[in-house]
Structure 1
Amino acid sequence: MTTIAVTGHMDLAAQATGPIREGLHALLSGFRGGALAGRSCLARGADCLFAEELLALGGRLSVIIPSRDYREAVVRPDDLPRFDALRDAAADVTVMPYEHAGPGAYEAANVRLLQGADRLLAVWDGSVPSGRGGGTADTVAAARAAGVTVDVLWPPGSRRTGFRS
């Protein structure tokens, strides 16, 4: 079984979601010959797109929730139905032992995400790590340091909504 963890930007521009979804589908389809398992924290954006494509291909989804209050504190009201549906479709859900969402909880969730992963799929624009451990670039750096193969997906023309270069 191949276990693929995902990290990616939350603030994807609307026109980027179609090409990113297509890229995720193509990358994940390459692993369909064997059993496919994926791990996601179900953050808005790349994490949810990955989870949807994984499930559509018959993969096994494992969800890692960063904190006990993550759903109430972080998930936007209009994203709740999607979050709940993906969480409910998961084969297993791990809630990290943090009461409140925040940098420490995100960093710990990303460490857990990478444990035992064969690959990390990063929906990432190549921005530099913040050094806080919870962001996309930080997770890519941690995966590379741990020897986990990293596949980067950032289709031409993709951009983030609030990102300033």
Structure 2
Amino acid sequence: MTRYAVTGHMDLTDDSVALVREALREVFAAHTEGELVGVSCIAAGADSIFAEELLAAGGRLVVVLPSQDYRQAKVKPQHAAVFDHLVESAVEVVVMPHENANRQAYEAANGELLRRGDRLVAVWDGTPPSGKGGGTADTVEQARAEGLAVDVVWPKGAARRS
């Protein structure tokens, strides 16, 4: 069994979504060793796309929520139905012990993702860390520092909204 954790950009362009979906399908199709398990915070963008494609590939989803108020405080109305479906589809939902969604809660959730994963799938354009902490580049750096294998997924033509 390989447990794939995910980190990635929330601000993918509409055209990039299909490219990222196809690239993630290829990652999951290459998985041949036992059960397929994915760990995601299911934020809008890469996290949820990863979770949807994992489930479509027959994988089991573990959801890590950064805080007790995450659904109410951070999930936008246009993402709510997908978010709720993914929570309902998960075999396990872990809620970090933070009352409020903030940078500290996101960093803790990212640490939990890495703790539960054997590999990190990073839907990442290679942009360095912003210095705020808790972002995609920060999670990639942390995974590499901990010796976790990182698979960067950034298909040709993918872009972020400006």
Measured against the shorter chain, the TM-score band is over 0.9
Distance (whole Å) between structure 1 residues aligned to residue 132 and residue 141 of structure 2: 11
Structure 2 residue 21 is the aligned partner of structure 1 residue 21: yes
Structure 2 residue 139 is the aligned partner of structure 1 residue 139: yes
Structure 2 residue 55 is the aligned partner of structure 1 residue 67: no
Aligned to 2:100: 100
SS at match of 2:47: helix
How far residue 33 of structure 1 moved from its aligned partner, in angstroms, is 4.3
Aligned-residue identity in percent: 56
**5+ residue gaps in structure 1?**
none
How far residue 39 of structure 1 moved from its aligned partner, in angstroms, is 0.1
Aligned to 1:155: 155
Aligned to 2:34: 34
SS at match of 2:62: strand
Aligned to 1:54: 54
Q: Compared with structure 1, are the counterparts of its residues 65 and 116 closer, same or farther at alpha carbon in structure 2 (3 Å cutoff)?
A: closer
TM-score using structure 1 length:
0.95
Distance (whole Å) between structure 1 residues aligned to residue 131 and residue 41 of structure 2: 19
The ranges of structure 1 where at least 4 consecutive aligned residues each deviate by more than 2 angstroms after the TM superposition are 130-133
Structure 2 residue 119 is the aligned partner of structure 1 residue 119: yes
TM-score using structure 2 length:
0.97
Deviations 1:10-49, CA, capped at 9 Å, x for gaps: 0000000001000000011111442111000001000000
Q: Considering only aligned residues, what root-mean-square deviation do their CA atoms show, in Å?
A: 0.9
8 Å CA contact retained: 1:8, 1:123: yes
Deviations 1:76-117, CA, capped at 9 Å, x for gaps: 111101000001000000000111111000000000000041
SS at match of 1:121: strand
Distance (whole Å) between structure 1 residues aligned to residue 32 and residue 52 of structure 2: 15
How far residue 138 of structure 1 moved from its aligned partner, in angstroms, is 0.2
Deviations 1:48-88, CA, capped at 9 Å, x for gaps: 00000100111110000001111111111111010000010
The letter of the residue matching 1:153 is V
**5+ residue gaps in structure 2?**
none
8 Å CA contact retained: 1:107, 1:132: no
How far residue 157 of structure 1 moved from its aligned partner, in angstroms, is 1.4
8 Å CA contact retained: 1:103, 1:133: yes
SS at match of 2:122: strand
Q: Between Structure 1 and Structure 2, how many residues are aligned?
A: 162
How far residue 133 of structure 1 moved from its aligned partner, in angstroms, is 3.0
SS at match of 2:58: coil
